[in-house]
Amino acid sequence: MRRDIVILGIFVADVTFRTDRLPKLGETLLGHSFALGPGGKGSNQAVAAARAGGAVHFLTRLGRDDFADIARATWDRAGVIAHVIDDPESYTGSACIMVEEKSGDNAIIVAAGAAGRLCAADADANASLIGGAAVFMTQLEQPLPAALRALELARSGGARTILNPAPAARLPKNVLPLCDFVTPNEHEAASLTGLPVTTNAEAERAAAALLDLGAGAVLMTLGENGVFYHDGVRALHVPAFSAGKVVETTGAGDAFNGGFATALAEGADAVEAVRFGCAVAGISVTRPGAAASMPTRAEVLALIGG
């Protein structure tokens, strides 16, 4: 049985500032704290999946700099197997994250650097790895041609495919039919479909529209309201897990995706995999940071009673 999870995505060094509130345009605020740590949706998802028990391979590009050293150390600690294309002509990516202290809400700017140069040829060079996976997952932080080619290779090789369509973007018509699962939040679902997503009924309509566009199943993440799942046969709401006081929501979506991919690769039913992902996310928001907030498998099983 295949068990490996292959993730294509970016690593960035997260530069995080915590303040009483997020600044307005042109405004300078005094912050409470500063931290430098690992981030990037793909990398965060790889760490989440590995810490949750998955056998994870991560494919990306890095510069040759101090931030690349942070990336490699992060993956080593989590047990992620890295497949890195060194790119001395660029820099390792970075993200500026501003966190509102009281609510945990955030605003983020990402500069992908070397990972922004990922291309279809990089996917082709790793075709056997991608196609041989149990689960392949990617996002939209790296260029779309790289993600599209990797999804094609994964589908042709028999891997189950997950697209986390973040950050929000319009997609060509040939992308969603390659996705067994698509995992937008409500804002990304609205961007993909052109439909509002402010109520449960609107979420169901948007999910149905994504199915009509070719997705195999839709897992719409709704923050503290959990996940709405729709595969054309089953349409149901999976509630969020409460694991304590919310400290920071920065990595919650990545935690969910990593947990979902792990359970799916282990053969879990899709809805049970959603529940596992919700538990991973529920723990992650009780801790600061993105990759640093990802829980261990033992912690997840304790929360869900497994």
Residues taking part in catalysis:
254
Query: How many Å apart are CA 202 and CA 192, to the nearest integer?
Result: 14
For the packed helices 186-193 and 200-212, what is the interaxial angle rounded to 10 degrees?
50
Q: Token pair for residue 138? A: 């990617």
Letter string b/e over residues 276-293, b meaning 16 or more CB atoms within 10 A of that residue's CB: bbbbbbbbbbbbbbbbbb
- Phi–psi pair at 128, nearest 5 degrees: -70, -35
DSSP characters for 187-219?
HHHHHHHS---SSHHHHHHHHHHHHHTT-S-EE
Q: Exposure pattern of 153-181 as b/e (b: 16+ CB <10 Å)? A: bbbebebbbbbbbbeeeebeeebbebbbb
Could you tell me if residue 246 is left (phi over 0), alpha (psi between -120 and 50 degrees) or otherwise beta? Answer: beta
Measured from the Cβ of residue 229, the count of other Cβ atoms closer than 10 Å reads: 21
| Element containing residue 111 per DSSP (H, E) | strand 106-113
